[in-house]
């Protein structure tokens, strides 16, 4: 364990760590398998025990990376739409894109900012925002708020884990990463439930506005 902690100390003490995190965050904005949250949380947890890296710089680099990445994804959606690439047509991504469209239509600010906390969710939401003609200036301002709060939140999780396991950088990093994954799953669950409720409400309102159509459909009359 001491050998592992010594290796971690040698890695996180290098000055380029925050900038590597920024690069991972940019790529993660449109390639979710890249573990940007895990890197931020791990760096923050290690800093509690080791004093490095500089967490202010980590927050700043992570926030800038998130802003750049989200706006690149927005531009991809604006330029190529939602059908150009094969991965956009996969069932899971198609469902995510449809859910994102409903969420943006109803609560654009809340949905765009919340999606930053969900790996696949943020890709879908930012693509749909670009493809649907959402105002670029408004999106840019929201991406700044989302990027800063997300970066701060990720560092906070790492700090909490690091303080709980002070003196053991490796365990602090692992616990912090696990906490970040759990929180992301919870945010995803809340957003899915909200999207389903919104869809159900929309369907109910539509039926109430068109009672004759609903009755015709129930008896098979066109």
When pLDDT is averaged across residues 35-50 and rounded to a whole number, the result is 81
Q: Out of 21-25, 148-152, 186-190, 208-212, which region has the weakest mean confidence (pLDDT)?
A: 208-212
Query: Rounded to a whole number, what is the distance in angstroms from the first to the last CA of the chain?
Result: 71
> How far is CA 172 from each of CA 43, 84, 134, 150, 161, rounded to the nearest angstrom?
10, 42, 40, 20, 5
Largest CA distance in the chain: 75
Other beta carbons within 10 angstroms of residue 96's beta carbon come to 23
Give the residue from 127, 109, 114 showing the smallest Cα distance to 69: 127
Q: Which of 59-63, 65-69, 91-95, 184-188 has the lowest mean pLDDT?
A: 184-188
Task: For residue range 82-139, list pLDDT tens digits in order.
Answer: 666 665 667 766 776 777 767 777 777 888 888 888 777 788 888 888 888 888 999 9
| All structural domains of the chain with their residue ranges | 2-218
Model confidence pLDDT, tens digit, residues 171-192: 555 655 565 556 656 666 665 6
At a CB cut-off of 8 Å and minimum separation 6, what does 188 contact?
118, 121
How many CB atoms are located within 10 Å of the residue 131 CB?
Answer: 21
Cis geometry, peptide bond prior to residue 88 (ω within 30 degrees of 0): no
The predicted-structure confidence for 145-179, as pLDDT tens digits, reads as follows: 999 999 998 898 888 877 776 655 555 556 555 65
Sign of the dihedral defined by the CA atoms of residues 45, 20, 53, 5, in that order: positive
Distance in angstroms (rounded) separating the CA atoms of residues 146 and 20 = 20
pTM of the predicted model as reported, rounded to 2 decimal places: 0.72
């Amino acid at each position: 364990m001491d050998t592992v902690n010594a290796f971690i100390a040698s890695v996180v003490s290098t000055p380029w760590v925050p900038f590597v995190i920024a690069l991972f965050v940019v790529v993660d904005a449109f390639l979710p398998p890249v573990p940007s949250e895990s890197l931020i949380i791990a760096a923050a947890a290690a800093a509690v025990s080791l004093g490095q890296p500089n967490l202010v710089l980590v927050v700043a680099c992570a926030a800038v990376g998130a802003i750049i990445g989200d706006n690149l994804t927005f531009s991809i959606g604006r330029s190529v739409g939602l059908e150009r690439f094969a991965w956009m047509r996969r069932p899971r991504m198609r469902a995510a894109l449809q859910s994102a469209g409903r969420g943006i239509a109803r609560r654009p600010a809340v949905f765009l900012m919340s999606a930053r906390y969900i790996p696949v969710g943020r890709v879908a939401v930012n693509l749909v925002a670009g493809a649907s003609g959402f105002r670029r200036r408004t999106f840019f301002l929201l991406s700044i708020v989302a990027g800063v709060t997300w970066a701060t939140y990720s560092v906070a999780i790492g700090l909490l884990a690091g303080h709980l396991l002070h003196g053991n950088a490796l365990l602090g990093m692992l616990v912090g990463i696990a906490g970040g994954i759990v929180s992301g799953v919870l945010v995803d669950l809340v957003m899915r439930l909200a999207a389903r409720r919104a869809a159900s409400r929309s369907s109910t309102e539509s039926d109430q506005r068109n009672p004759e159509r609903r009755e015709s459909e129930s008896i098979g009359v066109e």
